[in-house]
Amino acid sequence: MKKILVGVKRVVDYNVRVRVKPDGTGVALDGVKMSVNPFDEIALEEALRIRERGQANEVVVASIGPADSQQQLRTALAMGADRALHVQTDSTIEPLGVARAFLKLVERENPFLVIFGKQAIDDDNGQTGQLLASLWDRPQVTFASRLELGEATARVTREVDAGLETLDVDLPAVITADLRLNEPRYVKLPDIMKAKKKPLETLSLADLGADTREHLRIVRVGPPSQRTKGVMVKTTEELVEALKKKGLF
């Protein structure tokens, strides 16, 4: 069976204004709307389109996070995924630990394609796909804006600073989805009801045996500094003088 494994992360909804906890230990999440990471939605949509074209038999979504992450997995199932895997943990896992956990899932599921969003909007690390490809020793293409599958290869167009780059890679491979790859479908109420009956398996990090030890320690989280009020100048000379006073010129 040809499987596609898609990574899904629970993040603060992009419409929500993020607030830092008063003690600086992190972001306040109480009562905050959480959603599927937008780039992961794009990754899932691409996997579903591949299956609908008959190039895959099953789409499996997986998430690593707290018990509430099942809500986002059910959303992914409502979009059309066939089943879900939830690696439950209340700890914050670094990208390397996430990649190691996904490697165990890859060894278990044996997918021919793994698709992630290019980054999560909460930490913006953008590392998990690359790390998994290295650990798995398989090709990778990041920031994909177009994906075409052959029998044993994938042709991926990716966005780079100078424009577009097209690469051919052997399968299995890891792909990370960019914003322009597709537009995710709208989830309808009947699909939400059907998703409640789809299989969702809960695992633990101990079940996987993945090394998720922390290598970094967050010392403090703080909001960005407030922007200072602008100054209107009438001439270039006034602008230069103002920049000199601020030590910027």
- Along the 249 residues of the chain, how does pLDDT read in single tens digits? 799 999 999 998 888 888 888 888 778 788 888 899 999 999 999 999 999 999 999 999 999 999 999 999 999 999 999 999 999 998 888 899 999 999 999 999 999 999 999 999 888 888 999 999 999 999 999 999 999 999 899 999 998 888 899 999 999 999 999 999 999 999 888 889 988 899 999 998 888 888 888 888 888 888 888 877 777 888 988 888 888 887 777
Q: Do 37 and 177 contact (CB within 8 A), yes or no?
A: no
pLDDT of residue 28: 79
Domain range for 105? 3-245
Question: Which among 61, 64, 54 is positioned nearest to 94, based on CA atoms?
Answer: 64
Q: Residue type for 190, please?
A: P
Distance CA 179, CA 234 (A): 41
pLDDT at 240: 86
Question: Distance of CA 223 to CAs 31, 77, 230, Å?
Answer: 19, 35, 20
CB-based contact 129:116 (threshold 8 Å): yes
What is the distance between the alpha carbons of residues 222 and 19, in angstroms, rounded to a whole number? 9
Helix orientation angle between 128-136 and 95-109, rounded to the nearest 10 degrees: 50
Nearest to 84 by CA among 61, 101, 103, 51: 61
The predicted model scores a pTM of: 0.85
CATH value at residue 87: 3.40.50.620
What values do phi and psi take at 160, rounded to 5?
A: -125, 175
φ, ψ of residue 228 in degrees (nearest 5) = -80, 160
Alpha-carbon span 228 to 239, nearest angstrom: 16
Q: What is the per-residue pLDDT for 203?
A: 92
Helix, strand, coil fractions of the chain, as percent rounded to 5:
30, 25, 45
Strand, helix or coil for residue 54? coil
- What pLDDT sits at residue 14? 85
What's the number of domains the chain is made of?
1
Rounded Cα gap, residues 131 and 39, in angstroms: 17
